[in-house]
Amino acid sequence: MRHSRIAACVSSLLLSAVCTLTGTTAAQAAPEAAGTGYVALGDSYSSGVGAGGYFANSGDCLRSSRAYPALWAASHRRSSFSFTACNGARTGDVMDHQLGTLGARTGLVSVTVGGSDSGFGHVMTTCVLRGSAACLSAVSEARTYMDSTLPHDLDRLYTAIRRKAPAARVIVLGYPHLYKVHGTCTGGLADASRSALNNAVDHLDTVIAKRVADHGFTFADVRGAFRDHEICTSSPWVRSVSLLAPVESYHPTSLGQSRGYLPVFTRSA
């Protein structure tokens, strides 16, 4: 009996020690097993069009070393960094060409998308070349698309991101106002057109934020960060129309990326 009791006690102590060690090992292993990779998806506002310093191997995607994803990755330790954002990308382009590096080890995802889907390039061209009436009509058409088609496309994309990166924190960043209405500009678009464009951005951000919330992601609003740095201010962080570099027109400058997008993303990450 005495030997049985001793054996039982020894077994109990060994089991306790094993459990303690196992628990410690698991606790130590958990951070290593957690996803720590960062994947930057999206359109030109994430690739860094307008900021310059484009990577030679990025081709027409115009990925910039001055874009907020590259700046954030350079100052934060992550197990991996995949920069797949591309100029002109729509939700379907992100779905088809940018999700390949997502996986169980992905811990952070950033994305801007929806502006190209809504035809903002066409809208801006119309506003610059065809006057206020045509501009307001183009803005109205874009808003209709935002309400009728874009929510479904965003749902498909966000669902795919979550499926491929189940453990990731997903941060969806919005778009800034383009103009300071009644600002310093003495020519160019009429204030009615500038106001309509800003209102369209507000509408787009609202549509995106709603879909983001429904998927449990985080919406990062950059409009406040860009306030008083829009076109028609003394220190704009958004490029106006440029005949020498038309693709960079109406995109954040390097300061727009480093002082506008980057701090907002950093607070959310």
Q: Which residues are catalytic?
A: 44, 251
Of the candidates 97, 144, 90, the one whose C-alpha atom is nearest the C-alpha of residue 116 is 90
What values do phi and psi take at 149, rounded to 5?
Answer: -115, -40
Of the candidates 82, 3, 2, 74, the one whose C-alpha atom is nearest the C-alpha of residue 35 is 82
Of the candidates 236, 269, 231, the one whose C-alpha atom is nearest the C-alpha of residue 255 is 236
Could you give the CA distance from residue 91 to residue 115 in angstroms, rounded to a whole number?
A: 10
Contact 184, 230 (CB under 8 A): no
Angle CA 48–138–87, to nearest 5: 20
Amino acid code (one letter) for 132: S
Q: What is the CA radius of gyration of the chain?
A: 24
Q: What is the dihedral of CA 134, 140, 142, 147, to 10 degrees?
A: -170
Give the single-character DSSP code of 224: T
